[in-house]
Structure 1
Amino acid sequence: MRLHRNLVFAVIDGLNLIFNEGEYADKVVEKLLKRDKRWGSRDRAFVAETTYDIVRWKRLYAEIAEVREPFDRENLWRIFAVWATLKGINLPDWKQLAGTPTRRIKGKFDELSKTRKLKESVPDWLDALGEKELGNAVWTKELHALNQQADVILRTNTLKTTKKDLQHILAESEIKTSFLKAYPDALVLEERTNVFTTDAFQNGLFEVQDASSQKVAAFLEVAPGMRVADTCAGAGGKSLHLAALMQNKGQIIAMDIYENKLKVLKRRAKRNGAHNIETRWIENTKVIKKLHNSLDRVLIDAPCSGLGVLRRNPDAKWKLQPEFLTEIKKTQQQILQDYAKMVKPGGKLVYATCSVLPSENQEQVKTFLTSESGKDFTFVKDEKVLAHKSGFDGFYMALLERKTN
């Protein structure tokens, strides 16, 4: 591979924004890709994938480069030189890369890779927490899996097309996909490409949604004609899936504390042809109280650490702090206590997170079921999705049923 100066400078600028300015990697990459209209797909892929790669392995590369945060531009170039060397790329004769100790980099990589927290590039506290909650063997495998690049998975919008027809439509645009066994609506891209510019996406034939995330709506056991709430709906990926599963019949109340996210959901619902979704901004507790004892199904896709989705959000492990985890667990339990009251007798509730930590998952459900609010519910089933077993994001979902008397 030959390095091009304008592409590498874009990567360095992006890393500066992510590491030193605290910006989110996905937003930074989105901005970088608009930098030069002359860039082709390979150029864009280089900028995106290199930026994410260096973010993912920040600690390991910084240790090898012998630099400490905050990183000045010279430090960022040293980190980039480590990345390029370990990828086997011949370094050009640029002043920023002069004097790169190629042989020492490879030797240091071999040495540091003997220690898991360095090899898998995570903060000390997070490595210790993962081992404590999942055990040494499972955490080692899971951490390695969460450092792999995520596949691009599509969810067919069955309100408008079938999976087989969608595959043919995409093939006409030279986008090859494969079916995923046990995921009825999923297609996986055989090569990464920007699917958002396709007519198929603009016409609402699919959404991009990881395979594990696609399990959640189905876990709620909805049927056409039901009254359902998606209580932490965000921009509505699961609300849209629920609408498809319900064949546009019944009512989906998509709720969130962030009104701007619900505005995005409205646009997505229109594109998807999902007509049974109503949005409600949770601006106060009255919004929840009005729905007490009235819903057939309630989905709580709770805010969480996001450790299960590190493959697509690698910068999250550097932004995450122990204090946030402590607070988010309190929030998760409070949401469960409050939102469960919307389920009517005989109705069902799903509590889900994109975390792999039992303290955010099974333990939260156990705490709820032994509480005053949870005594009216029975545990039906749960599913723990680990990235190293599934090959997809880490997820958890539990199905609870409200007693009829």
Structure 2
Amino acid sequence: MKLYRNLSEAVVVTLKTIFEDNKYADKVLEKTLKQNPKWGARDRRFIAETTYDIVRWYRYLLAVSGSKNDDYWSLLGTWLIWKNIPLPDWDQFKNLNVNSVKDKFQKEYPLPVRESIPDWLDELGNTELPSRWAKEIKSLNNEAEVVLRANTLKGDIDTIQKQLMEDGIETTINSKFQNALILNKRMNVFGSQSFKQGLFEVQDVGSQLIAPFLRAEPGMRVVDACAGAGGKTLHLSALMQNKGRVVAMDTEGWKLDELKKRAKRAGANNIEAKVIENSKTIKRLTSSADRLLLDVPCSGLGVLKRNPDAKWKLSPDYISKVKTIQQQILSEYATMVKTGGMLVYSTCSILPSENEEQVKRFLNSNTSFELIDENHCWPSDGFDGFYMALIKKK
């Protein structure tokens, strides 16, 4: 492939913003691409995929290139050599010796360098998951597949798959997962008629396992207390066939505004959005829910495939703080469940300290609750990493 200077410059500027301004990769890329509407699909894909891959392999590429942390041209050049893309004769690449770089790619490196993660994260992973860590972190460096959830409020999965095909979107049904459609090739699906008609949501299969795990039934009163922009809220609404009530709650009102737009597109009419203003909001709902979903804030280690920049933004201090928040949410929000009702505690982390250990701590302090079931979705299974625990109030 021929490399164009303007596209390479866009990658370098995007990387600089991500690492030096501590911005989220998806937001920076979105801005970069919006500022250049004349770029075609191939150019946009090159910029996005190259940026994400360099972010993903940042530490490894630094070790191979021997360059400074902020020499993004050398990182790009090293990545191009790795991918067997010929280096153009540009001044920015003059310090790179292609054969020397290729030799360095053949060297053995310690796991945190080879898998491109901070040392502290490797130590934490080895402590918490000694037998699984190497396998899971390797899997988290694979590019994530794009998975859709067929919206059963609009039709069955086979009908929706056919309608997607008419839109030029080819998918494969995975029989292990109820309504999952896996894209045959990466593409932007958000401009399609099928998306505008609410036929699907983009949602990884790990995430798609959580709403069914809650065992919500049509006619129930269900609370999704950490709803965010509402991917799991919409799934619950579909599982309940638009019958009953799903109360979507979050501390951030703008996220619920986004949820309302998504609900309208999806034809989900049984959703009520409620901002959590303070502890009184929760107290008013004491013993009101047949089912409660607590998809709590977490480290996000299970979704590094999708958000590779997160590993460079995380810190031990942040993980410690988020575990305290998880404990508070579980103990305070569980009061919303009726006697005989159930809740699901879920995260997109793979660390036991955020998952089963939090559940054990809660059950030890709250004897009126019991664990019914729990499930892990591991990155090494090919998708995102999630944990979910189903807990019943006696």
> Tell me, what secondary structure is at the counterpart of 1:91?
coil
| Paired residues of 2:167 and 2:193 also in contact (CA < 8 A) | no
Query: 2 CA distance for matches of 1:144 and 1:351?
Result: 26
Say whether residues 1:383 and 2:375 are aligned partners: yes
Aligned to 2:77: 81
Q: Where in structure 2 are the equivalents of 1:140-179 lying within 5 Å? A: 140-179=134-173
Aligned to 2:385: 394
In structure 2, the gaps of 5 or more residues are none
Q: Please tell me the residue identity of whatever aligns with 2:262.
A: R
Correspondent of 2:97 among 96, 101, 106: 101
Q: Deviations over 1:13-50 (max 9, x none)?
A: 10011011111000011112223333222111101000
Aligned to 1:204: 198
Q: Deviations over 1:363-388 (max 9, x none)?
A: 000000001xx211011010011110
| Paired residues of 2:167 and 2:194 also in contact (CA < 8 A) | no
Query: 2 CA distance for matches of 1:383 and 1:163?
Result: 25
> Tell me, what secondary structure is at the counterpart of 2:375?
strand
With 241-250 and 25-34 compared, the bigger mean Cα shift is at 25-34
Query: 2 CA distance for matches of 1:381 and 1:295?
Result: 19
TM superposition shift of 1:326? 0.6
Q: Where in structure 2 are the equivalents of 1:23-172 lying within 5 Å? A: 23-69=23-69, 71=70, 75-111=71-107, 113-135=108-130, 137-172=131-166
Q: Please tell me the residue identity of whatever aligns with 2:165.
A: A
TM-score w.r.t. the length of structure 1 is: 0.96
Q: Please tell me the residue identity of whatever aligns with 2:373.
A: K
Query: 2 CA distance for matches of 1:2 and 1:270?
Result: 44
Query: 1 CA distance for matches of 2:38 and 2:187?
Result: 17
Q: Deviations over 1:119-178 (max 9, x none)?
A: 10000000010011111x411110010001000000011101221111111111221100
TM superposition shift of 1:67? 2.8
Q: Where in structure 2 are the equivalents of 1:188-267 lying within 5 Å? A: 188-267=182-261
Which runs of at least 4 in structure 1 moved beyond 4 Å after TM superposition? none
Query: 1 CA distance for matches of 2:269 and 2:41?
Result: 36
Query: 1 CA distance for matches of 2:220 and 2:68?
Result: 55
Aligned to 2:286: 292
> Tell me, what secondary structure is at the counterpart of 1:381?
strand
In structure 1, the gaps of 5 or more residues are none
Q: Where in structure 2 are the equivalents of 1:334-349 lying within 5 Å? A: 334-349=328-343
Q: Please tell me the residue identity of whatever aligns with 1:24.
A: Y
TM superposition shift of 1:287? 0.6
With 182-191 and 28-37 compared, the bigger mean Cα shift is at 28-37
Identity of aligned residues (%): 53
TM superposition shift of 1:99? 3.4
Query: 2 CA distance for matches of 1:16 and 1:64?
Result: 19
Query: 2 CA distance for matches of 1:109 and 1:77?
Result: 18
Query: 1 CA distance for matches of 2:254 and 2:7?
Result: 33
Q: Where in structure 2 are the equivalents of 1:365-384 lying within 5 Å? A: 365-371=359-365, 374-384=366-376
Query: 2 CA distance for matches of 1:256 and 1:38?
Result: 38
TM-score w.r.t. the length of structure 2 is: 0.98
Query: 2 CA distance for matches of 1:91 and 1:219?
Result: 50
